[in-house]
Amino acid sequence: MLIHALCLAAASAVLVTSAPLSVGGPQPGETSYYSTYRGKVDAFPANVTKSARLPTLNGPPGDDDLLFQNLLSAEWAIYSFYQQGVARFNTSAFEEAGFPNTTYDRIAEIRDNEAGHLAIFQEAISSASTRPGACEYQYPYTDATSYLELGTLLEVSSMAFLTGLVLQAKLDVSKAALVAIAETESRHNTWSLMDVWRANPFAGPSDTIFPYANEILETTNLFIIPGSCPPENPPYPSPSQKLPFISNVGNATLEPGSQINVAFPDKSNQPKFVDGKDYYLVAFHGVNNASSPFDVKTGTAVIPADIEPHKGIIIFVIADCPGAPTLESVVAGPLIAPQYT
Ligand SMILES: *[C@@H]1O[C@H](CO)[C@@H](O)[C@H](O)[C@H]1NC(C)=O
Ligand SMILES: *[C@@H]1O[C@H](CO)[C@@H](O)[C@H](O)[C@H]1NC(C)=O
Ligand SMILES: *[C@@H]1O[C@H](CO)[C@@H](O)[C@H](O)[C@H]1NC(C)=O
Ligand SMILES: *[C@@H]1O[C@H](CO)[C@@H](O)[C@H](O)[C@H]1NC(C)=O
Ligand SMILES: *[C@@H]1O[C@H](CO)[C@@H](O)[C@H](O)[C@H]1NC(C)=O
């Protein structure tokens, strides 16, 4: 559906980019492959398209090529996380760690869904643009439990950056595809909250909208082994602000109304706070945001109290204006804090 609609949308303007883009193989939505493959080795299309694929047509890029290039690069990181889990663990590894005996099978099914996302995003990029390939990724997990914890964080992060990408999309069909992908990520996340963590999976009336999607995408660069990306890959994300990362160095649970202590762990990329200027902790939650003064000397702020507690996620940034109303007003971040209990 997506492919046909993109061809129609492109037809009037740039007929040449509506040539078939398929890399062949199982088609998402047409076969059960992207739900039922259970091999330990890479799923299609990761088994054949890890290199970048250069444009095969001259001409202007498709309207949402840049968006889908960014999203495909992010998807390589997410797909690879699940593929690593499938390769490394088995049913008993999760059972022995105290999780349900269905956990490994669900992880394999999520890996398959993510492979389907690779295929969908590759197709969504026109042949006038490079389709980015896979890098090598290293994730900070050590065992089955920390693996599942990181997986939950990746799912909530991807739901949040998809809301921001909708704001960037030019074609209506791209917006619908992004919502549909976010719904799939939300199902993955719901499964893990209920079955794995035995938590209430609800997030209040709305999950969090974060408008500056590329700032979240940038944080996935932390997982890339330096120098491992195909040299033909476009810069990722693009555009990029190269903002200093934030880490939470205080209380593990970030409760509305309590204090947050942050540090900027990358010594080579520290925020440049201007003397005498005011800075703010801006907390995005649901469809709103709330701000409080940020003390640049101590790295502390009080988390705004008017946020529904224990639901969904809060995304924090440091900004030079309350509400971080423009991209340029953000000076550090984001920090993603799940609130599920
Ligand atoms: C990749 O996976 C597809 C689908 O399972 C399979 O048909 C194909 O032979 C695989 N190719 C390679 C090179 O592994
Ligand atoms: C799971 O993996 C462990 C460790 O590699 C191995 O000892 C065990 O036999 C495997 N279990 C199954 C059911 O394959
Ligand atoms: C998985 O666990 C359920 C109960 O928790 C049990 O009924 C079922 O037989 C188990 N399945 C396997 C394959 O061990
Ligand atoms: C942790 O939260 C409590 C309660 O809000 C607060 O009093 C304390 O200062 C916080 N500690 C740190 C290190 O942020
Ligand atoms: C944050 O909320 C304020 C007040 O509603 C709004 O003006 C501002 O645009 C919001 N920020 C973003 C980035 O949406």
Query: What pLDDT shows up at residue 253?
Result: 84
Element housing 290 (H / E): strand 288-294
Query: What pLDDT shows up at residue 12?
Result: 36
Answer yes or no: is the C-beta of 16 below 6 A from any ligand 1 atom. Answer: no
Can you tell me the distance from the alpha carbon of 28 to that of 113, in angstroms, rounded to the nearest whole number?
A: 9
Element housing 280 (H / E): strand 279-285
Q: Give the Å distance between the CA of 255 and the centre of ligand 3.
A: 37
pLDDT band at 17 (very low <50, low <70, confident <90, very high): very low
DSSP string, 145-179: HHHHHHHHHHHHHHHHHHHHHHHH--SHHHHHHHH
Q: Give the Å distance between the CA of 306 and the centre of ligand 1.
A: 52
Q: pLDDT over 70 for what percent of the chain?
A: 93
Query: What pLDDT shows up at residue 23?
Result: 67
Is the pLDDT at 281 greater than 80? The verdict is yes
Cα distances (angstroms) measured from residue 295 to each of 229, 298, 330: 38, 6, 15
What is the tens place of the pLDDT at every residue in 81-129?
Answer: 999 999 999 999 999 999 999 999 999 999 999 999 999 999 999 999 9
Indicate the pTM of the whole model. 0.92
Query: What pLDDT shows up at residue 22?
Result: 52
Q: Give the Å distance between the CA of 147 and the centre of ligand 4.
A: 28
* End-to-end Cα, the chain, rounded Å: 38
Q: What are phi and psi of 61, to 5 degrees?
A: -65, 155
Can you tell me the distance from the alpha carbon of 41 to that of 115, in angstroms, rounded to the nearest whole number?
A: 12
What is the tens place of the pLDDT at every residue in 29-62?
Answer: 999 999 999 999 999 999 999 999 999 999 999 9
pLDDT band at 7 (very low <50, low <70, confident <90, very high): very low
Q: Give the Å distance between the CA of 39 and the centre of ligand 3.
A: 22
- Alpha-carbon dihedral sign for residues 166, 169, 172, 176: negative
Q: Which residues contact 22 (CB under 8 A, 6 or more apart)?
A: 3, 123
Can you tell me the distance from the alpha carbon of 259 to that of 293, in angstroms, rounded to the nearest whole number?
A: 11
What is the tens place of the pLDDT at every residue in 238-280?
Answer: 999 999 999 999 988 899 999 999 999 999 999 999 999 999 9
Question: Of 88, 90, 147, which is best to mutate to test ligand 2, by the most ligand atoms within 8 angstroms of its C-beta?
Answer: 90
Is the pLDDT at 164 greater than 90? The verdict is yes
Answer yes or no: is the C-beta of 92 below 6 A from any ligand 2 atom. Answer: yes
Question: Among 73, 309, 329, which residue's Cα sits nearest to residue 211?
Answer: 329
